[in-house]
Amino acid sequence: MDQIQHKYVDINGLKLHVAEIGTGDKVVLFLHGFPEIWYSWRYQMIAAAKAGYRTIAIDFRGYGESEIPAEPEKATFKDFVDDVVGILDFLQIPKVFIVGKDFGAQVVYTLAILHPERVLGVVTLGIPFIPAALVGQLYSALPQGFYIMRWMFPGRAEADFGRFDVKTVIKKIYILFSGSTVPIAEENQEIMDLIDSAAPLPSWFKEEDLSAYATLYEKSGFSTPLTVPYRSRPADLGEVAEHVSAPTLLIMGGSDYFYKFPGMEEYLTSGAVKHFVPNCDVTVVEEGSHFVQEQFPDLVNEHIISFLGKH
């Protein structure tokens, strides 16, 4: 970890945090999800650097060590895409392999659609490309206690989270999202009530990892993270077709709760995803959770580096 270097770059009026290790003409950019930060890619960054790649991970605006926008409640997915393009321009990187996890996958796919000339290949973890029409279908099949529906309305998640210190909130979310069932609360419950504060961390997530996350969320708060992804619509593609032409690898945990969404497994195994991402290969890590890259880092590293080498 000590060999990873950190700097801040001025992009679109904000100081954004960039972590970097390795050298070489081929670059891999990692984009985190929620409740993650750049640190969630620590194992992948070091492995890719050892394999000969210049490896970069960022904190999105309002996350981790990146500056919080003046009006975090107005942050959008398009802002995140524009920030990534701005970082690539600032670092003078014309083309990149781009890896995204959770909602970071949505940023990756949007970038690959709007700026295909910048993308050598795509790897996503936990979330496949989901066309706009399917998003509504997925959510409509789930009850009102579904965590995304609870968190999309301003104030409710803030009140729920506010009952606990930041470290406990991150702990509860990590345990919750490590499960194999879709997080759904009863009518008289809040999402944080689904996990006991005394519950143990997953065996692969250490106390020092929790402290690293908590320290940064104490700095950033949850205003931007609750806005993007939970309260911001996907970036408007205009007249551009929902089509990702770049070679793509999707890594799913077989025990990932997202894999259990109604219709998700069929969408992937039937090949329907290839209507939108024709060059997509799907790899399932059987015991993997939503945090598969932290749970099984060596296996995920092997899949990613093999993909990079092929393209």
Dump pLDDT digits (tens) for 65-118: 999 999 999 999 999 999 999 999 999 999 999 999 999 999 999 999 999 999
| pLDDT digits 0-9 by tens, 153-191 | 999 999 999 999 999 999 999 999 999 999 999 999 999
Q: What is the Cα–Cα distance from 268 to 243, expressed in whole angstroms?
A: 16
Provide the 3-class DSSP secondary structure of residue 252. strand
pLDDT for 107 equals: 97
85 Rama sector, left if φ>0, alpha if ψ -120 to 50, beta otherwise: alpha
Provide the 3-class DSSP secondary structure of residue 36. coil
Return the higher-pLDDT residue of 144 and 249. 249
The pTM assigned to this predicted structure is: 0.96
Q: What is the mean pLDDT of the chain?
A: 95
DSSP designation for 247: -
> The sheet that has 14-21: what strands, in order across it?
5-11, 14-21, 54-58, 27-31, 96-101, 119-125, 248-253, 280-285
Q: Which superfamily does 5-310 belong to? A: Alpha/Beta hydrolase fold, catalytic domain (3.40.50.1820)
Residues identified as active-site: 102, 230, 290
> What's CA 302's distance to the chain center, in Å?
19
Tokens of 208: 């020092």
pLDDT for 37 equals: 96
Q: What is the Cα–Cα distance from 67 to 48, expressed in whole angstroms?
A: 27
The burial class, CB within 10 Å (0-12 / 13-18 / 19+), for 216 is buried
pLDDT for 16 equals: 98
pLDDT for 261 equals: 86
Pair 248, 284: CB distance under 8 Å: no
Give the least confident one: 20-29, 265-274, 276-285: 265-274
pLDDT for 39 equals: 97
Distances in whole angstroms, Cα of residue 36 to Cα of each of 75, 195, 212, 277, 311:
17, 18, 10, 26, 27
pLDDT for 62 equals: 98
Average pLDDT over residues 262-284: 92
Distances in whole angstroms, Cα of residue 41 to Cα of each of 56, 83, 90, 262, 266:
9, 19, 22, 29, 29
pLDDT for 141 equals: 78
Tokens of 304: 């990613």
pLDDT at 138 over 80: no
pLDDT for 236 equals: 84
Q: What is the Cα–Cα distance from 265 to 267, expressed in whole angstroms?
A: 5
Segments of the chain assigned E as strands: 5-11, 14-21, 27-31, 54-58, 96-101, 119-125, 248-253, 280-285
pLDDT band for position 136 (cuts 50, 70, 90) = confident
pLDDT for 142 equals: 83
pLDDT at 243 over 90: yes
Q: What is the Cα–Cα distance from 183 to 21, expressed in whole angstroms?
A: 36
How many residues comprise the chain? 311
Give the least confident one: 4-13, 216-225, 264-273: 264-273
Q: What percent of the chain has pLDDT over 90?
A: 87
